[in-house]
Amino acid sequence: MGRIRNNILHNQRLQRAYDAAIEWREKHINEKQTVLILSFFVGSFCALAAYLLKQFIHLIQSLLEHYVVQGEYDFLYFVFPFLGITLSSLFVHYVVRDDISHGITKILYAISQRKSIIKPHNMWSSVISSGLTIGFGGSVGAEAPIVLTGAAIGSNLAKFFRLDQKTMMLLIGCGAAGAIGGIFKAPITGLVFTLEVLMMDITMTSVAPLLISSVTATVWAYITMGRDPMFELQISDPFVLGKIPWYVILGVLCGLSSLYFTRATNSLERLFKQRVRSMGLKTVVGGLTLGLLIFVFPPLYGEGYDVIGDLINGNSLKAFEVSPLSFLGHSAWVIVAYFVLVILLKVVASVATNGGGGVGGIFAPSLFVGAVTGFVCARVFNLIGINVSEANFALVGMAGLMSGVMHAPLTGIFLIAELTGGYHLFLPLIIVSVVSYLTILVFEPHSLYAIRLAQKGELLTHNKDRSVLTLMHLDSVLETDLQTVPPDMRLGELVRVIAKSRRNIFPVIDKNGKLCGVLLLDEVRNIMFQPRLYHRFTVKQLMTSPAAILTEDMQMEKVMETFEDTGAWNLPVVDSEKRYKGMVSKSKIFSSYREELMRLSEE
């Protein structure tokens, strides 16, 4: 009892000290200053998380290479990815006990729902699970997990200091910007990524914290990992204006490749989720699929950054020679066909990794596919007599794929420029990124990150009308106070109900609570004052079918479309079993819409 009492007293003292510290902060440091200070710490913590993740991945890879693998290419590379997926799956299932996949989609969802609350475990769980996945060869990237980690750091710091929801959202953006700056050493990309991919509305007051976080993380990355760019260019062919048409063609190819990447990833994920139910079976199917793909196509192993480095520095044969398919010979067209298969199968490898229980993002896979697409395009041009730089095409291809897959041309442009120091290729980077983005827009209006939320109607965008409708929910405008009537009610009884009601519409509900129709006052006005008819007519004879029936899980954008299509002013709402839940009026929606629009504009 004494120990329990001491613990309670200790917790009470801590709570009083915490409350006093928060009160002192509120009195002496205004909110703007608090955000600037916290943005520095968010950037610092993001850099630390990025450093720890990279070191964890490199540690696992080094241990495998030095103590397990005997030769340059070993059969154990078939086993390693399966082991990594298994360890990550067990960690998530038994330790984290939460879904931590699709990190950036989770951030978009938090922002879209105006909650901005990301669970505390996301500050460390993604680092460990993605480290295990990628370290053992999972064909995914570490960037999305670290962005989720950074966003969780920002969210929970804001929550700790009891900041409002708007400020919490800004610190989530600071965490994302800091994560990109810390893992890529790309401060401008961190800011642009927050604007384009997370779709946050940037104002002058929010630019400073985002930049502070991004630059701080980048500086710490310079200190801990050196100032060398991630991909050091050994070949630097100058850009020639006469090559612009070929870069335009590359942009179109990158757009089409982005479309394949997006659609294939989404379809395979959905197929994997529907067909493979148990955790054990998912791990086995995902691990074996990934292991087999990597055994035949070694470039699919891990993040693929080594292969990217080889391609942009003219060492394409290195990635081909380690494959069992190298017995086919070193013909130029054989190599082209090999890398085309690598492009097509990278999506399968990434989905197998995440679907099997691994944790990782599509940042690195999109860069990888972009580099290979650029290389293949350049090699084909050279084979048919059009002289272009394979290194330059591989480099700008990365920007093209990222622009298409993420619907973020500025992010693609600045990221590749900062990753490689290839500012001399700024014009082709812009051309390929913009053309790729415009190409995929013809077929797919949403990025791979946003498409999952868009399909559910939960995505907040820069379109104010859609944003307001996204933030509104059907239950907030549902009216449940209308008088219902049974279908067998006589006209005489109905007249007494009408006399007590203030509404002119009456849902008709059977004894099981199911909607049969609606009765409008206008339909009975001519006979309701004729007592001789009170026993002749029933509600069932007088009711009509509603213009449309809404379901309780319907998104507001679809609700508004239904009102517009039918021209109705009131529509009933039912559940999945057709049981009546209430009525929705167009006037109530308009009133709620105006209130939500005013609140959104103030933010």
CB 549 within 8 A of CB 515: yes
- Secondary structure class of 416 (helix, strand, coil): helix
Contact 211, 247 (CB under 8 A): no
pLDDT of 464: 44
Last residue of a domain, one of 392, 423, 458: 458
Label residues 413-445 b or e (16+ Cβ within 10 Å = b). Answer: bbbbbbbbebeebeebbbbbbbbbbebbeeebe
Q: Can you give the residue range of the structural domain that contains 369? A: 241-458
| 538-595 pLDDT, tens digit each | 888 888 888 888 888 777 777 777 877 787 878 888 888 888 888 888 777 766 655 5
pLDDT digits (tens, 9 = 90+) for 4-13: 766 677 667 7
pLDDT at 211: 92
Q: How many other CB atoms sit within 10 Å of the CB of residue 464?
A: 12
In the predicted structure, residue 463 carries a pLDDT above the cut 60: no
Q: How, if at all, do strands 580-585 and 515-520 pair?
A: unpaired
Q: Is 422 domain-assigned?
A: yes
Residues 453 and 474 in one domain: no
Confidence of residue 400 (pLDDT cuts 50, 70, 90): very high
236 occurs within a structural domain: no
Strand locations in 28-166 (E): none
In this structure, what CATH number is given to the domain that contains residue 472? Answer: 3.10.580.10
Residue 167 binned pLDDT confidence (cut-offs 50, 70, 90): confident
Residue 12 in domain = no
Contact 143, 217 (CB under 8 A): no
Distance between CA 408 and CA 211 in Å, rounded?
Answer: 19
Q: Are 73 and 279 in contact (CB under 8 A)?
A: no
Last residue of a domain, one of 225, 258, 287: 225
Residue 17 falls within a domain, yes or no? no
Q: Is residue 445 part of a domain?
A: yes
**H-type helices in 113-164, by residue range?**
125-135, 143-160
Of 166-170, 230-234, 243-247, the range with the highest mean pLDDT is 243-247
Q: Which of these three, 225, 253, 288, is where a domain ends?
A: 225
Regarding predicted confidence, which is higher, 305 or 522?
Answer: 305
| Number of domains the chain is built from | 3
Q: Which one, of 289, 205, 208, 256, lies nearest residue 432 by Cα?
A: 256
pLDDT at 458 over 50: no
Task: Decide: 384 and 336 in contact? Cβ < 8 Å.
Answer: no
Indicate whether 413 and 480 sit together in one domain. no
Q: Are residues 403 and 492 in the same domain?
A: no
What would you report as the CA-atom Rg of the chain, rounded to the nearest whole angstrom? 29
Alpha carbons 78 and 294: distance in angstroms, whole number: 7
452 and 482 fall within a common domain = no
Largest CA distance in the chain: 100
> Residues with Cβ < 8 Å from 21, sequence gap 6 or more?
none
Residues with Cβ < 8 Å from 461, sequence gap 6 or more?
199, 467, 470
Q: Which residue has the higher pLDDT, 486 or 316?
A: 486
Give the pLDDT band (50/70/90) at residue 332: confident
In three-state secondary structure terms, 506 is strand
Q: What is the pLDDT of residue 465?
A: 47
Judged by DSSP in three states, 528 sits in: coil
pLDDT band at 338 (very low <50, low <70, confident <90, very high): very high
- C-alpha span between 111 and 108 (Å, rounded): 5
Residue 9: inside a domain: no
Does 473 or 138 have the greater pLDDT score? 138
Q: For residue 99, how many C-alpha atoms fall within 13 Å in the half-sphere facing its CB? A: 9
pLDDT at residue 380 in the model: 94
- Examine the domain organization and report whether 171 and 302 are in the same domain: no
> With contact defined as beta carbons under 8 Å apart, do 543 and 519 qualify?
yes
Same domain as 399, residue 271: yes
Sign of the Cα torsion 190, 436, 338, 376 reads negative
The pLDDT of residue 469 is above 60: no
8 belongs to a structural domain: no
Residues contacting 19, CB < 8 A, separation 6+: none
CB contact at 8 A, 440 and 259: yes
pLDDT at residue 112, rounded to an integer: 61
**Residue 195 vs residues 108, 172, 207, 312, 409: alpha-carbon distances, Å:** 12, 12, 10, 29, 11
Does 254 lie in the same domain as 314? Answer: yes
Q: Which of 4-13, 144-153, 361-370, 564-573 has the lowest mean pLDDT?
A: 4-13
Q: Do both 160 and 181 map to the same domain?
A: yes
Q: 321 vs 153, which has greater pLDDT?
A: 153
Residue 197's CATH number: 1.10.3080.10
Evaluate whether 351 touches 276 at the Cβ level (below 8 Å). Answer: no
Mean pLDDT value across the chain: 82
Is 235 contained in some domain?
A: no
362 lies in the same domain as 449: yes
Residue 454 confidence class, pLDDT cut points 50, 70, 90: low
In this structure, the answer to whether residues 186 and 297 fall within a common structural domain is: no
Reported as a single tens digit per residue, the pLDDT across 23-63 is: 777 777 887 888 889 999 999 999 999 999 999 999 998 88
Residue 229: pLDDT above 80?
A: no
- Which percentage of the chain shows pLDDT scores above 90? 25
Question: Is residue 233 predicted with pLDDT exceeding 70?
Answer: no
Q: What is the b/e burial string over 293-332, where b = at least 16 CB atoms within 10 angstroms of the residue's CB?
A: bbbebbbbbbbbbebbbbbbbeebeebbeebeeeeeeeee
With 50 as the cut, is the pLDDT of residue 289 above it?
Answer: yes
CA distances from 496 to 283, 480, 484, 501, 525 (A): 65, 20, 13, 9, 13
* Mean pLDDT score, 196-215: 79
The 10s digit of each residue's pLDDT in 413-453 is 999 888 877 677 889 999 999 999 999 999 988 788 777 66
What mean pLDDT is predicted for residues 341-356? 91
What's the rounded mean pLDDT across residues 60-73? Answer: 69
Residue 438 has what pLDDT? 95
Same domain flag for 579 and 541: yes
What is the model's pLDDT at position 33? 86
pLDDT band at 377 (very low <50, low <70, confident <90, very high): very high
Please count the CA atoms within 13 angstroms of the CA of 71 that sit on its side-chain side.
5
Poorest-pLDDT segment among 89-98, 171-180, 270-279, 383-392: 270-279
Residues 444 and 473 placed together within one structural domain of the fold: no
Range with the poorest average pLDDT among 167-171, 325-329, 349-353: 325-329
